[in-house]
A and B are shown apart, each in its own frame.
Chain A
Amino acid sequence: MVSTVADRAFAPARSLLEEVGDMMILTGKTMVSALRPPYPYGSEFVGQFLFALRLCWLPLLISTVAVSYGAPGLQAANFLILFGALDRLGGFFVLAIIREFAPFVCAIIVAGVAGTAITADLGARKIREELDALQVLGVDPVKNLVVPRFLALMLVTGLFDIFAIIFGITGGLIATLVNGAPLGPFWATFFTNASTTDLWGSLLKCTMFGAITAIVCCYKGMTASGGAEGVGKAVNQAVVITFLGVFAFNYVFTQTLLATHPEITVIR
């Protein structure tokens, strides 16, 4: 009786821990096989990179403009207007866009668009036993399928961060114009407050988000099972785990960056 209750309570926790461990192992394997020759994944890498680029650019554009116009743009502008200091909006956008919104909107879009597509693709291959067939042919699925996706998503998420920052700032410019203020002070406070530390922190964070997304989505796709419902369920679980992982990592990373680089929090 006691043992069945304990099993019921601990079985989900145990399977979760097992999954996290498996993902760690997959990460290690991916890194090792990415570095060890031969390198047969060149064309697949380019294909995946272009695939993610093609799918993500429009959702990311719409989302970053919408988020930055609404959340930091309108709310902060409303607050600053009360003090007659709308010119400080540019300085606030360094914190809001470069440090926070651009990386995480980027991660959400890449996970929701490219990550789900990767899980659906790999899951379908797993269900049709194509992955087993590859292994029988002597082709390593990690090296030929996971490594190119891992590298491509890392690179594409990192580069999309710049794209997201540009369009995030566009949202801030719209918010400034809506309030009838000139753009000069916005740019002035933006550039005096921006620092290279902020930028590399943002890029590094975003690249790591891409890595998390790729590993979780590949793992979930390659372990899909149970027919039609299995693939859908795999996609479902993949995005849930990716979002939780991305935001948890975001918290740890931002806290570490802010605590170890106090100069970026100084208002100039």
Chain B
Amino acid sequence: MAGWFALPREWISSFGEIAKFSGKILGQVYSLRVLHFFGETLRQCGVLILGSTLVIWGLVFIVGLQCGIEGAYFTRAQGAPAYAGVFAAWCDLREIVPYGFGYMMSAKVGTGIVAELGSMRISDEIDALEVMGIDSVLFLCATRLLASWLVLPFMYMAAVGAGFFASYLAVVQQIGEVSSGGFSLIFWMFQNPPDLLYSVIKGMVMATAIVLVGCYYGYHAGGGPVGVGTATAKSMVMNIVLVHLIGMLGTQVFWGANPRAPIGG
């Protein structure tokens, strides 16, 4: 019976540690001490842009296609194929793009951070940094968090664009029951800039949580090469659950009480 509850037990026991560690990193970023290592921050930005953007856009593009076909078939069944834009607009901007972004962030960036920091920990590089008098949390974790805050809002908005483009392709070019103009009219009618802002906030909260969890598991990895692999796997579990919970809370907070739809009075 013990194995069945190993995971929640571990979450509970490590939750305080993660919160403390995250608080430390956030404090270092907000007190601007991280700017001592602005060069390293920019290097991390470069790593993020070159390594992760294309994969994230790719995944969001695929889920955008998915939204498009489901919307097209669903509205056709309702007898209103011209309104496929409503489904695509809400599904893309509010739900699927944040989720797709969160999934790929945790898969690509989160586990990447754990693998990198974990192998540094195993090969005693982090201890070497400390010996040289460099604050290792500041140098390794805070710079990564600041880098993700600098890069990801823009990457996220471009990802929203990729999702929209994919839905357009699926609904108008592939299924083809609504004209391009008709789709765009309804599609843009059912969203406005505050919706985009809320969606970006949702994505950024997910990204912050993922980077912090990744930093925690990587920084505290132990137990040789096997330990790095296990830490990577563990961080993935926590990240996926966090992505889903943040997605739900974001929906509840931003759209729970107000559908923000141009219908009725």
Determine whether the beta carbon of B232 is less than 8 Å from that of A120: yes
For residue B70, which residues in chain A have a CB less than 8 angstroms away from its CB? 95, 99-100, 254
Q: How many residues of B contact A (CB 8 A)?
A: 70
Please provide the chain B residues from 210 to 234 with a CB less than 8 Å away from any CB of chain A in the complex.
224-233
Stretch at the interface among B39-47, B111-119, B126-134: B111-119
Q: Which of A50, A79, A100, A227 contacts B259 (CB 8 A)?
A: A79
Decide if A228 touches B90 in the complex (CB within 8 Å). no
Q: A116-B233, A236-B108, A236-B115 are in contact. Are A229 and B69 (CB under 8 A)?
A: no
**Do most interface residues of chain A lie in helix, strand or loop, or is the interface mixed?**
helix
CB–CB B73/A112 < 8 A: no
- Residues 68-88 of B at the A interface (beta carbon under 8 Å): 69-70, 73-74, 76-78, 86
- Closest chain A residue to B95, Cβ basis: A71
- Chain B interface, >50% SS class: helix
Query: Is the beta-carbon distance between B245 and A120 smaller than 8 angstroms?
Result: no
A189 within 8 A of partner (CB): no
Closest A residue by C-beta to B63: A247
- Which of B55, B59, B248: most chain A Cβ within 10 A? B248
Contact partner of A100 (CB less than 8 A), chosen from B59, B66, B263, is B66
| Any B CB within 8 A of the CB of A109 | yes
CB of A58 closer than 8 Å to a CB of B: yes
A235 to B74, CA, bound (A): 37
A residues whose Cβ falls under 8 Å from a Cβ of B: 50, 54-55, 57-59, 62-63, 66-67, 69-71, 74-75, 78-79, 81-83, 95, 99-100, 105, 108-109, 112-113, 116-117, 119-121, 123-124, 127-128, 227-236, 239-240, 242-244, 247-248, 250-251, 254-255, 258, 265-267
Given A78-B261, A81-B259, A247-B63, 18 new contacts (CB under 8 A): A59-B241, A79-B261, A108-B240, A109-B240, A112-B107, A116-B237, A120-B226, A120-B229, A128-B225, A228-B118, A229-B115, A230-B225, A232-B229, A235-B236, A251-B65, A254-B70, A267-B77, A267-B78
Query: Could you list 21 A-B pairs, sorted by A, with CB under 8 Å?
Result: A54-B4, A54-B6, A58-B7, A59-B237, A63-B241, A66-B245, A78-B261, A81-B259, A112-B107, A119-B229, A119-B233, A123-B225, A124-B229, A229-B115, A231-B115, A231-B225, A235-B233, A236-B112, A243-B107, A251-B69, A265-B74
